[in-house]
Structures are given as C-alpha cells and as structure tokens.
Amino acid sequence: MFEFGRDLRKLFEKARESDDLGWLELIGADLLEAEAKRETTDAGRVSCARPFEAWMRASFMWREHARRTGSAASLGRAASCASDAARHARTSDQTVAAGLEAGEIHLARFDLFGGPERLNAALMDIQGLSPEKASTRAWAGALGARLTTRRADLVQTTEEADRALALLDTARRDHRHLSTTVAEDLTLDWAGLALRRGVERRDVALLDRVGQDLRALVETASPEYRPVTRARALCLAAVGLKALANLANDIEAEAQGQALFDAAADQFTPDHSPLDWVAVQLAQGATQTPLMVLAQAETMTREPGLIMGAMARERRMAAEAALAEAMGDVKAIQGLETIVRRRLAKPVSRPPLDWAADQMGMAHLMLSRARLTGSRPHAVGMMLAEAATTAREWGALALAEQAERIAFRMARA
C-alpha cells in the first residue's frame, strides 16, 4: 500500500520501538506477517535485551495478522509467543500481562472461528489475576467486559446484554490507562452492543451517544494513520444508520448509510486487511453486493471453519441461485446442487460452520428450483433449522440469523 523511501523507513524504525503498535495499520497483511516474523526472531535471540517485551510485541503482531487474514496458523504463533513472554516475565505484573495476552488470543479465536469453549478458556486466563499497574488493571477490565459481551450475545437475554453494556461503560472510564488499540476495540464493542440495544429499546439517547462516539472515533482515526480502525467505525456507523432507516422507512438515511459503507471500503485495498474488506462487503446486505465481489470475498476467506468464510460462501451461493432463477436456468441450479451435495457427502469431518453454510446454500438452490419448476422443496425447513442451530451453538450469530430469515421468508411464501 505504501512505497518505503528512506524517510519512511526511518519513521518505521522509530515506530518499531514504540509501545503503541497502532502504526501496524499502515502496512498491509503481507508486510505485517514479515514484521511479526522479524519480531519473533529478535525475541528469541540470546542477545535480546528485553525478551518479555519483544515476545509480547510478537504475539500482538501475529494476533493482528490473524485478525486481518483469518489465519489459524498466525493465532497459533501468537499463542506460542505469549507463552514465551510468560516464561520471561520478571515481575508479577508482567505475568498478569502475559495472561491477558493469552486471553486476547482466545477472544480473537472465538471472533474468527466461534466455539463457546474459547470464551471459557479466555475467562479462565484472566480469573485470579491481580494486576498491579493501572494500565494492566485497565486492560484486564476491558478484556473482561469484551468477553462478557460475547457471552451475552450467546445467551441473548436483555439482562445479560445490559450487564455487558454496563461493564463496557465502566471499562471505558479507564481509557487514559489503555493503549490506543485496546481503547479503540473497546469503543467499537460498546458501540456495536449499544446500537443493538438502542434499536431494540427505541432508546434515542443511547443511539445519539453511539453516533457521537463513532463520529469521534472516525475523526480521531485519520485515514493517513489509522485506516483499518476508521473503516471499522465507518462500517458500524453504516450498519446503525441503515437499521434506523429501515425502522423509519427513510430512503435518504438509507442512502447515507450506503455512502458510509462506500467510505469504509475506500479506506484500504482488499489485500491490506482482507477480513475487514470482506466484512464491509457482507454488511451491506444480500442485494447490495455483486456476485463477482462475493466470489472474491469467498476466495479471501478460505480458512476452514472461519465465520466470515461461511458467511461469504452462503451469500455467494444465494446470489448464484438468484441469478440462475432470474435467467430461468434450471440446469445451472441442478449443477450447483450437485457440487454442494458432494461437499456435504464428504466422509472427512468438516468444520461445523462450513457445513452450516452449505446447508443454507442448498436451501437457496432448492427453493429457486422449486419456484422455477413448481415442485415442492423437500426438507428445506429442517436443513435451515439445523444450520441455524449449529451456527448459534458456535457463536456465529449473523449466520444463524440469516438461516432464520430464509426460513421465515419461505414460511410466508
């Protein structure tokens, strides 16, 4: 994304020594991986003057690479670096920090691949920790609040959601002790949950707060220095504005929401942060994203078991089914059904979310064929119910809700 001249190289040499790793947003995924490898090698040298800090930095870099690319291997490397950091801890507070980093890795693994046991593992990592420094205490509070938010999403009760929102609010009061990256992640998590609760409760004051905080984050995260954070904030703001537009049937607000999506997508190229780019495309809705873009999104999220990959596959198959139906091409639908059936019939164990996405894709194809031929689709409701249950159990709530929407539309047809 950037051409590294002499001055820019000097800038990055200084940034490498900084405690604030926000500068990593300026480099693409490939260069980020190279930086993580370099830091890991340096941390393992006998001559390394501060091995604990070096292992922690390496862990953060691998974790950020996984967050941008969906690489399970990078998460494994992050966990290994965090373990090495714990071995080199010289104080009790450093031991706590290494435990918090391990918790962050479990949280990232849950966000990418689902699995409630990963939330439990993260909670176990932070239980019993006794931070000494204000910065470590603030980090522990932020991580605990974010984990509680994920658990509230799984439980889906108003009480748990409100409790999580209160914990996030409390953690945000310690923002002056948090690193920039942790503070921004905390703000985005708070805004996402507050947005959902505000819409559910029709709470205008809460929705205003969300808008103000996201606007402040967008203004703070300049495109020249924090393009990824800026894109995440813009995407969340777009989702919120479109949700409100749908409630109010406001065409102008709908257009403004789409403009925010476009702005988010313009912050970086797809290879700079593949998963963030895919997230922007998928968040726009089934009718807004062209089939070619969905195919590209699926290609960029091939890691087995990746939540974003399952969502991209389901959306791509829905678009292909709709296109074949619009063209009256029954043979094309049957050909796609054959491909999906082969995947579903494979004896090799497949990640549950990949299986759920194929179940949903098959449902799209069968419903399209039924509409074209006048036949009655067989067991589609059961397929969608099983897919929704599996997705919900693994914490892929967006995928589960999509399966339920398909079933609802089928029931009303």
Q: pLDDT for 290-349, tens place per residue?
A: 899 999 999 999 999 999 999 999 999 999 999 999 999 999 999 999 999 999 888 677
Distance CA 117, CA 101 (A): 17
Q: What would the two tokens of residue 286 be?
A: 């089934």
- Say if 194 falls within a structural domain: no
Radius of gyration of the chain (CA): 22
Report pLDDT for 64: 97
**Model confidence pLDDT, tens digit, residues 356-403:** 999 999 999 999 999 999 988 888 999 999 999 999 999 999 999 999
- Say if 316 falls within a structural domain: yes
Mean pLDDT score across all residues of the chain: 90
Secondary structure class of 166 (helix, strand, coil): helix
- Say if 309 falls within a structural domain: yes
Report pLDDT for 4: 42
Percentage of residues of the chain with pLDDT beyond 70: 94
Question: Is the distance from CB of 367 to CB of 389 less than 8 angstroms?
Answer: no
Question: Is the distance from CB of 101 to CB of 57 less than 8 angstroms?
Answer: no
For tokens 């700079």, what's the residue?
Answer: 272
Residue 411 — very low, low, confident or very high, per pLDDT cuts 50/70/90? Answer: confident
CA dihedral 399, 251, 214, 151 (to 10 degrees): -20
Distance CA 366, CA 391 (A): 20
Say which residues have a Cβ less than 8 Å from residue 35's Cβ, sequence separation at least 6.
16, 24, 27, 61
Residue range of the domain that includes 351: 287-413
**Model confidence pLDDT, tens digit, residues 240-279:** 888 877 777 778 878 888 888 889 988 888 999 999 999 9
Full DSSP string of 66-99: HHHH--HHHHHHHHHHHHHHHHT--SHHHHHHHH
Range list of β-strands (E), 58-210 = none
- Say if 325 falls within a structural domain: yes
- Say if 168 falls within a structural domain: no
- Say if 360 falls within a structural domain: yes
- Say if 224 falls within a structural domain: no
Report pLDDT for 244: 79
- Say if 371 falls within a structural domain: yes
State how many domains the chain has: 1
Question: Is the distance from CB of 53 to CB of 93 less than 8 angstroms?
Answer: no
> What 8-state DSSP symbol labels residue 6?
H
